[in-house]
Chain A
Amino acid sequence: MGARVKFWIGGLVIVAALGWLAFVAFEESKAYYITVDEFTSRGGDTEGKRFKLAGDVVAGSIDRSRPQLEFVIASPQSSIRVRYAGRDIIPDTFREGSKALVEGTVAPDGVFEASRIEAKCASKYEAEYDGRTS
């Protein structure tokens, strides 16, 4: 058997193994990436699925008095209460009024239990100004 053939066989084995691995990892970590509005319009079709919800952190809703941080995120029409059960420290870009992405599942009590929170990244920070630019 030529070295080229052997290389291609070896390469295919590696690629196939990685492909399988990618598939398994994908099934395990995939999350439906939607807005809070789209989430509520799904009705009961949320059980057992992972979601990544996008919305704004409602002013005054951040509650640190409970064992785990809780807050409310909202899209224009609807909102949902979120409980943070993750290990990482919440980024500084997360604050009242900021855009946030919360990833997790719906807990039995109806609260969205997030294992990850992302907030708008600083490199895309653009200050709003009263005036317009020409």
Chain B
Amino acid sequence: MADFGTFSLLLALCLSLYAIIASLTGVSLGKRRVTASGERAALAATAAAILALGALLYLMLADDFATAHVANNSSRTLPLLYKISAIWGGHDGSMLLWVFFTALLSGLAIVQNRRRCRDMMPWVVVVLMVNLAFFLALNLFLSNPFNQLVRITPDGATAPFVPADGQGLNPLLQYWAMVIHPPILYLGFIGFVVPFAFTIAALVTRQQGNDWVRIVRRWTLGTWLLLGIGIILGGKWAYVVLGWGGYWGWDPVENASLVPWLVGTALLHSIIVQERRGMLKTWNVVLVTLTYLLGIFGTFLTRSGLVNSVHAFADSNLGRFFLYYMAFVLAGALLLVADRQSFLASKRRLDSMLSRESAFLFNNLVLVAAAFAVFWGTLFPALSEWLRGTKISVGPLFFDRINIPIGLLLLALTGIGPLLAWHKTSPAALRRSFRWPGVVALLALAALLAGGMRNFTVTVCLTLCAFVLATIVQEFAAGAAVRMRHRGEPPPAALARLVGRNPRRYGGYIVHLGVVIMFVGFVGNAFNREATLRLETGETGRVGAYTLRLVDFLEGRKANYAYGRTLLEVTRDDKPLCTLAPEKRIFNSGGQTTTTVGLHSTPKEDLYVVFTGIAGNACEIKAHVNPLVFWLWFGSGILVLGTLMTLIPGSRPREARS
């Protein structure tokens, strides 16, 4: 079965190469039959990649420990779900998962559009298959998950080696969010290849029209959504499983996923400007290219050890190939853009600073600046070593300092943008639309100051949250009021029909609502409190309004780990609240420890308790009070909901009058 897997990968590689050659030949000879065979080869490559993943799945379920990847990441006693997720529990298998999704999305994009976009299709196939062939080659030649274990016999020859049992899956990965986090994140990186392929195809064939905008918008939106969910799940995993007290640490791996998400967010906004006003075409092409490259860069960063290890610049072969490929794509795309300048030129200019276009431009500027800052900070160790020979790294402080003002600016634009009209906003309209949100913001500010809030950043952030919230309510209310007046509908029906008629627009406002709620969650960070308690049985310690009493300390042994568990009785303001049982586990194989966090979560704050170890006769407990974290998860749920609404096909927006 392992040979079958390797063979499937090789077959997929050959088919993708054939698809590239056939498409190029067919286009240059003008023979539709040849390009059609290229399309079919691309679909066959997809099928072969699916078979390869199927082969690894079979090996996992069959406990085939002769295969190195299975032996290193699975074991006989591992539950079924984790045997499946062990496919992406190690490097080689996760590269296969990447290839599988790349093939799947490529095939889907081809099937979906091959009738509608005949002219673009050969070039779409070329780009998708170049991308697929690159990753297939890496997977096959540098990180093949079907490699067999061998042992070296005393006389120096090699012989097959089959261990009695596998090493098992890293216990830290045995958590539901970690089962689905890599696949979702991968889809969120890979999906950006489809907009890129259609962009290149549209440029090469000088394709005008709405097909390009429609495909780019929908695929970017879907991919952006998955990437966002992936990022949130990663945060959830960090919070609940890694147990260090927070959900985001500006780790290079986290940053690598945030950067394409930020650029994708910019693209989703600027593409609206192109759709409505025919502006920013070159800029959009640049953003599409960047999201694609940054998605690849995300895997590159996590796979090459570029940043995480000291002195490892392009250390692995894998890293070097990634760099070559990204340079090739970037150079090709830029040359094409330069050559098509007249085609991309926009006929319209920015008319007024007080226009929707201008708000979108600032939104793009700020989002790209944020992406650049995170990118730069993440890569700085590698860059400084390359340029000056010393590796200098920047810590979370750097990222906080720069991203907090950027975040506030974005939040303000979230409110201001929808209040401005396309083209130009008259002073009267401006007064009308800003009146109520302005009043609400001032009231919120007064309430915060009266309530004793003295933290500047928090005050600004919450005031802006109130402002944006008011603009969103105003949009819904004004739209519903028009329907009530003209059609005599009752309020709930008016609201429902309003949203149903234009899910794109109102879904967008729901996304903004989710973002506002998430900002409320971020604010909580300013008020985090923590205490290190060393308690013997019966003793108590305090953190914030909570009193923790160590009732008992239990030690025990389960099938594959030993555990130490503390039982803590929690009272809040002298009233009994709950019992928490934070736990430390030490796994038999490799001595890996894991933490089970004791968590009492309310909308107001989380009590987050970790048992960190034994200190003399006492148990060391780290207790954190993290206010408002609940709203981060809740807001991201709303964001997902809103994005799904915008994906509902609705009536096309009209071209704005100019």
What per-residue 1/0 map shows which CB atoms of B474-509 lie under 8 Å from chain A?
000000000000000000000000000000000000
B250 nearest CB across to chain A (Å): 10
Q: List which B150-165 residues lie within 8 A (CB) of chain A.
A: 150-152, 158, 161, 163
Whether B595 is near chain A, meaning CB under 8 Å from some CB there, is yes
- Of A15, A89, A103, A130, the most chain B CB neighbours within 10 A belong to A89
A91 touches B242 (CB 8 A): yes
Q: List which B600-634 residues lie within 8 A (CB) of chain A.
A: 610, 612-616, 620, 622, 624
Q: Contact check: which of B71, B351, B366, B395 meets A14 at CB < 8 Å?
A: B366
Q: Contact check: which of A10, A30, A118, A127 meets B167 at CB < 8 Å?
A: A127
Known interface pairs A92-B243, A134-B150; A31-B620 also in contact (CB < 8 Å): no
Whether A54 is near chain B, meaning CB under 8 Å from some CB there, is yes
A64 touches B615 (CB 8 A): yes
User: Which residues from chain A contact B400 at a C-beta distance below 8 Å?
Assistant: 25
B392 touches A7 (CB 8 A): no
User: Which residues from chain A contact B150 at a C-beta distance below 8 Å?
Assistant: 131-134
Whether B309 is near chain A, meaning CB under 8 Å from some CB there, is yes
B591 touches A33 (CB 8 A): no
A84 to B572, CA, bound (A): 30
B350 touches A3 (CB 8 A): yes
A51 nearest CB across to chain B (Å): 10
A133 to B590, CA, bound (A): 20
User: Which residues from chain A contact B243 at a C-beta distance below 8 Å?
Assistant: 89, 91-92
A96 to B173, CA, bound (A): 20
Name B589's closest neighbour in chain A (CB-CB): A127
User: Which residues from chain A contact B366 at a C-beta distance below 8 Å?
Assistant: 14
Whether B381 is near chain A, meaning CB under 8 Å from some CB there, is yes
A126 touches B91 (CB 8 A): yes
Whether B205 is near chain A, meaning CB under 8 Å from some CB there, is no
A93 to B590, CA, bound (A): 11
Whether B147 is near chain A, meaning CB under 8 Å from some CB there, is yes
Whether A88 is near chain B, meaning CB under 8 Å from some CB there, is yes
B608 nearest CB across to chain A (Å): 9
User: Which residues from chain A contact B244 at a C-beta distance below 8 Å?
Assistant: 88-91
B371 nearest CB across to chain A (Å): 12
A64 to B172, CA, bound (A): 23
Whether B68 is near chain A, meaning CB under 8 Å from some CB there, is yes
A122 touches B381 (CB 8 A): no
A25 to B399, CA, bound (A): 8
Known interface pairs A64-B614, A134-B150; A127-B73 also in contact (CB < 8 Å): yes
A21 touches B401 (CB 8 A): yes
B148 touches A133 (CB 8 A): yes
A10 to B182, CA, bound (A): 40
User: Which residues from chain A contact B394 at a C-beta distance below 8 Å?
Assistant: 25-26, 29-31
A132 nearest CB across to chain B (Å): 6
User: Which residues from chain A contact B614 at a C-beta distance below 8 Å?
Assistant: 64
Known interface pairs A54-B310, A91-B242, A121-B251; A133-B149 also in contact (CB < 8 Å): yes
Whether A28 is near chain B, meaning CB under 8 Å from some CB there, is yes
What per-residue 1/0 map shows which CB atoms of A1-40 lie under 8 Å from chain B?
0111011001100110110011011101111111100000
A129 to B166, CA, bound (A): 10
A32 to B296, CA, bound (A): 28
A25 touches B622 (CB 8 A): no
A88 touches B148 (CB 8 A): no
Name B393's closest neighbour in chain A (CB-CB): A33
B350 touches A89 (CB 8 A): no
**One of B214-222, B357-365, B448-456 contacting the partner:** B357-365
A126 touches B353 (CB 8 A): no
Q: Contact check: which of B167, B391, B405, B612 meets A18 at CB < 8 Å?
A: B405
Whether B170 is near chain A, meaning CB under 8 Å from some CB there, is yes
B353 touches A64 (CB 8 A): no
Whether A41 is near chain B, meaning CB under 8 Å from some CB there, is no
A28 nearest CB across to chain B (Å): 6
B148 touches A92 (CB 8 A): no
A122 to B151, CA, bound (A): 27
What per-residue 1/0 map shows which CB atoms of B504-522 lie under 8 Å from chain A?
0000000000000000000
| Additional A-B contact list (9), CB under 8 Å, known A88-B246, A91-B244, A127-B90 | A15-B369, A33-B381, A64-B613, A88-B245, A89-B610, A103-B395, A122-B242, A132-B151, A133-B150
A selection of 9 A-B contacts at a CB cut-off of 8 Å is A6-B353, A18-B373, A88-B244, A89-B243, A89-B245, A92-B593, A125-B90, A127-B72, A131-B150
Seen from chain A, the residues whose Cβ lies within 8 Å of a Cβ on chain B are 2-4, 6-7, 10-11, 14-15, 17-18, 21-22, 24-26, 28-35, 52, 54, 64-65, 87-93, 95-96, 103, 116, 118, 121-127, 129-134
Closest 9 CB pairs of A and B: A25-B401, A29-B397, A33-B391, A122-B172, A33-B393, A29-B398, A133-B147, A133-B68, A127-B167
